[in-house]
Amino acid sequence: MMINKKTLPFLGLGISVQAPINLIGGLLMLWATQSGLDLKAVGVFAAVTLPYCLKFLWAPFVDRINLPFAKVIGRKKVWCLFWQLGIIFGLLGMSTLTPNEDVMALFTCAFCVGFCGASQEMTVDGLRIDTLKGDDLTNGTVLFHFGNRIGYFAATAGMIALSGIISWSLVYQIATLIILVGVLSVPFIHEGKQENVPATFDTMVVKPFKDFYIRQNLLLLCCFIVLYKLCNGMLGKMAYPFYYDVGFTKNQIATVSATFGSIITTLGIFCGGWIIKKCKFKPLLFWLGGIEILTSFAFAGLAAAGPSIPLFFIVIVFDNIIGGMGSAIWTVFLSTLCSRKFSATQYAFLNALTMVPLTLLGTTSGWLASEMGWINYFMFTGLLMLPALFIISKSKTLFKENAR
């Protein structure tokens, strides 16, 4: 049974976790642009999402420091509520401002939302690993990702639609209701008794990485995580510019990629949750990586064919169902690598390994596509997966951990 009293709260938390980064990302830039703010100033708002790449730096505090009422409610649950209140106050602060008149104040409030949103995500990841085991971990992760999709639609399409009939100020006030879904979900999580360990540099920083080192080849693990996500990440960075450049209209992109693609991604998430229960991680990640190479080649084929709607549908189905499966499988895989004693710290670190290199290398994606051409660029992104597949095929220790 996928939904039970242990897994259901993570559906609501998935909604709450996804919303902040969308509310301070594309939606904020749209609001700023419509208000007449200079495009150079609009671009500065991209920095408010920086905490999502750096959250591992303060994750040890969530694992070890007790806030007031932690012994009654639960350490991570109290932290989660603290971050959620920070998001709500940040959004309410944004709702009182105007982009073209209060740039710095708006940036400060948005950065507060970004910091608390990233911290909420890190804390919820820790709670998911701490409280769910076996099939519940898989099912809770699938529901969490499904909640992410709901949160994404609510914070993007929903808020954009509302902005057409009410003021942006009211839009951001209503957006706080999305976060309240997460607030109401927290009390239903049973965190259990927390280990009472002094908060020192050794317990907060040294021991989480020492634990990794004892159980895994840490260097090999880091290399694998970085390399495995490059293929799909570099492809995704240039997907929308590619669709437009190859000749598809905005309406076609919105219908096929954004709407139809999102439905297929959701289907892929549930397929991924089902497959995890049937297969071991080593062959599963190997074959999934192989299919991602074929996905890149399919994009190269679309680049060669030009704006063919039937082929566009085929490529989107292929890409999004694999993307949905991959997100569920990858999240569960990373979760099984983490110790429950250091869940927030270790998962935030592993997640940063997928985000930071991709963020840095992603800055070259436009230049590479321009220099190589779309066909060669997508062939290149496919080949980026080969080193990761080599590690999978040769490693005897990397996949020995299996907390399911």
Q: What is the CATH number of domain 202-394?
A: 1.20.1250.20
Average pLDDT value for the chain: 88
Contacts (Cβ under 8 Å, ≥6 apart) of 48:
24, 28, 107, 110, 111, 113, 114
Architecture of domain 9-199: Up-down Bundle (1.20)
Confidence band, pLDDT 50/70/90 cuts, at residue 400 = low
pLDDT tens digit string along 85-116? 999 999 999 999 988 888 899 999 999 999 99
C-alpha to C-alpha distance for 293 and 280, rounded to whole angstroms: 20
**8 Å CB contact between 48 and 114:** yes
* Residue 323 predicted with pLDDT over 80: yes
Higher pLDDT, 273 or 217: 273
Higher pLDDT, 10 or 369: 10
C-alpha to C-alpha distance for 348 and 350, rounded to whole angstroms: 6
* Residue 185 predicted with pLDDT over 80: yes
pLDDT of amino acid 287: 93
* Residue 404 predicted with pLDDT over 50: no
Residues of the chain within CATH 1.20.1250.20 domain(s) are: 9-199, 202-394
pLDDT tens digit string along 275-288? 988 888 889 999 99
pLDDT tens digit string along 75-84? 999 999 999 9
* Residue 403 predicted with pLDDT over 60: no
Contacts (Cβ under 8 Å, ≥6 apart) of 74:
189, 191, 192, 194
DSSP string, 6-42: TTTHHHHHHHHHHHHHHHTTHHHHHHHHHTT--HHHH
Model pTM score: 0.87
* Residue 402 predicted with pLDDT over 60: no
pLDDT tens digit string along 352-376? 888 877 777 766 888 888 889 999 9
Confidence band, pLDDT 50/70/90 cuts, at residue 40 = low
CB atoms within 10 A of CB 46: 12
